[in-house]
Structure 1
């Protein structure tokens, strides 16, 4: 005796839940991934414990940067506003003593390039103690 067979239904795999899981995993990895930006300049920011200025044992060299990008060293204006003349003035004023502290006082509206040039001049001559002067903010 032959029994009638039930017709087989074709087997379908429902892909909708699988696609949902893949998108959730993709979203998870995108959100949790951290991207690091490598920079060439590493900066250690200074910390101020108190509001009093540090004790100065040596007379510092003071570089003034005007609003137009002009340089002055210890109150004497420089004839040229370029890196070479500033380096020469620093070399003459310091007498070769690289342990002197350098104070950089720049106008708030001075060009950024002029401030960077002043910092570059001090660094190229080997000065290691650079201070950037500021004024205390007024309470409003």
Structure 2
């Protein structure tokens, strides 16, 4: 007895709908996910009650001030783009022994972080923060 073999086509899987579903899921999760922005986090930072004084041995000190509106000053001169100002400062003068950062208490952490990033990019790593001593409240 002779059996007839049936000719079966190879099974193929159409990938187009699968890719569409994967991209739709990806877009759904990207749109529906919420991210906390660091500027919206409620933080209560500690007060500075004790600190160490900077030794007077630092011969050249660079002073960077950050106002509450985010404006940055380099040695009391307003700066629009800090990395360029740091490069120009180091071209004109020797590398400072110490960089002192003074930030207004209402300055955003984003502005302070931007200054620290610029200092790191310029290769300045000896950085100190100038603060005021905590006031004692008398009753």
Q: Please indicate the TM-score interval, normalised by the length of the shorter structure.
A: 0.5 to 0.7
Encode CA deviations 1:72-96: one digit per residue, 9 max, x unaligned: 0000012x2xxxx201111211337
Q: What pairs with 1:14-93 in structure 2 (closer than 5 Å)? A: 51-78=52-79, 80=80, 85-93=81-89
Q: Tell me, in whole angstroms, the C-alpha distance in 1 between the residues paired with 2:67 and 2:53.
A: 26
Q: Tell me, in whole angstroms, the C-alpha distance in 1 between the residues paired with 2:120 and 2:97.
A: 12
The equivalent of 1:119 in structure 2 is 116
Q: Tell me, in whole angstroms, the C-alpha distance in 1 between the residues paired with 2:131 and 2:51.
A: 15
The equivalent of 1:129 in structure 2 is 126
Q: Which runs of 5+ in 1 are unaligned?
A: 1-48
Larger of the two Rg values belongs to structure: 1
Give 2:103's match in structure 1, choosing from 97, 106, 109. Answer: 106
The equivalent of 1:12 in structure 2 is none
| Mapped contact 1:102–1:127 kept (Cα < 8 A) | yes
Poorly superposed stretches of 4+, deviation over 2 Å: 49-53, 94-100
Deviation at 1:104, TM superposition (A): 0.7
Higher relative contact order (CA 8 A, sep 6+): 2
Greater Cα offset, 92-101 or 103-112? 92-101
Deviation at 1:99, TM superposition (A): 5.2
Number of paired residues?
Answer: 87
Cα–Cα, structure 1 residues 139 and 113, in superposed 2: closer, same or farther, change >3 Å?
Answer: same
What's the TM-score, normalizing by structure 1?
A: 0.56
Q: Which runs of 5+ in 2 are unaligned?
A: 1-49
